[in-house]
Amino acid sequence: MAQILAPSTQCQARITKISPVATPISSKMWSSLVMKQNKKVARSAKFRVMAVNSGTINRVEDLLNLDITPFTDSIIAEYIWIGGTGIDVRSKSRTISKPVEHPSELPKWNYDGSSTGQAPGEDSEVILYPQAIFKDPFRGGNNILVICDAYTPQGEPIPTNKRHKAAEIFSNPKVEAEIPWYGIEQEYTLLQTDVKWPLGWPVGGYPGPQGPYYCAAGADKSFGRDIFDAHYKACLYAGINISGTNGEVMPGQWEYQVGPSVGIEAGDHIWASRYILERITEQAGVVLTLDPKPIEGDWNGAGCHTNYSTKSMREDGGFEV
């Protein structure tokens, strides 16, 4: 649990100014140890192979970090939507001819809903409507992440499109007048890739009992801090209203807070933050789970606590309201 302070004035629908020299997150941070080892080239064939692979990685890194802004006005927009399970995030990229500031400037797009569990094979087209824009911390520059919701070609929201109904509620004048605040506390667990066992835990075994791990520091108590910290900075770069982070009770478990956010902005920001976390753990070679009970037994669960208030609740007499 964490205290959530006053809301920021930012709006998810606009980007004020994107620096053309912004530096995207690099996978070098995850491979630094390997790279350091590769510099110590021995005479054996094994280490010579590692050195060659190192050069290949460096060339790919050069392209990933390439700043295209001096050469083209075009940007890359990553269209993001929620898949058929209701908890998975999907995305695809497209070129936009010039930088944009508002979702209304972006074209609608489509995808194969039969591949995401959102449409039958014989009628699989689903249309993406851009709804919120964030700066892209992975590609940098003027490139953007775009939160979308999904519709049939006839313009009807598909069954898994919960945002459409939420937008109707939040646009009601009575609701708008109450300025609803949300502060969302997202807990998550990091898992080892091949065994799907929490990061820092002995494979097939258990760490010491809970107690020393919450908000802790130390190699024997804190597992995955680089991921947690990279996510924090990436969210701030993107324009997400992230307000804090902390280590959680179970080792390998973390939490961050988004908000206070007003109305539907809360949903757009939490989903963008989840997508960024998925991408960072992908680069780190670690599996992310939002499972509310990832480990059975006397181990802390992972929730998404939501703090809520209205204008009437925040004013004098709000307790009675």
User: Domain map of the chain by residue range?
Assistant: 60-171, 180-320
Query: At the top level of CATH, which class does the domain 60-171 belong to?
Result: alpha beta
Give the integer Cα–Cα distance in Å for 130 and 149.
7
- Dig out the tokens for 38 from the structure: 């590769």
Q: What are phi and psi of 80, to 5 degrees?
A: -120, 135
Can you name the residues that pair with 78 across neighbouring β-strands?
93, 145
144 close to 22: Cβ distance less than 8 angstroms: no
pLDDT for 23: 53
Question: What's the CATH architecture for 180-320?
Answer: 2-Layer Sandwich (3.30)
Q: What is the pLDDT along the chain (321 residues), one digit of tens a residue?
A: 454 455 544 444 444 344 444 455 554 544 443 344 344 333 333 434 444 466 677 888 889 888 899 999 999 999 999 999 999 999 999 999 999 999 999 999 999 999 999 999 999 999 999 999 999 999 999 999 999 999 999 999 999 999 999 999 999 999 999 999 999 999 999 999 999 999 999 998 999 999 999 999 999 999 999 999 999 999 999 999 999 999 999 999 999 999 999 999 999 999 999 999 999 999 999 999 999 999 999 999 999 999 999 999 999 999 999
Query: 205-220: b or e for each residue (b if 16 or more CB lie within 10 Å)?
Result: eebeeeeebbeeeeee
Provide the 8-state DSSP code for 104.
G
Return contacts of 275-279, CB within 8 angstroms, 24+ apart: 275/80, 275/89, 275/91, 275/145, 276/137, 276/145, 276/231, 276/234, 276/235, 276/238, 276/240, 277/188, 277/231, 278/89, 279/138
Residue holding tokens 């205290």? Answer: 3
Give the integer Cα–Cα distance in Å for 262 and 13.
12
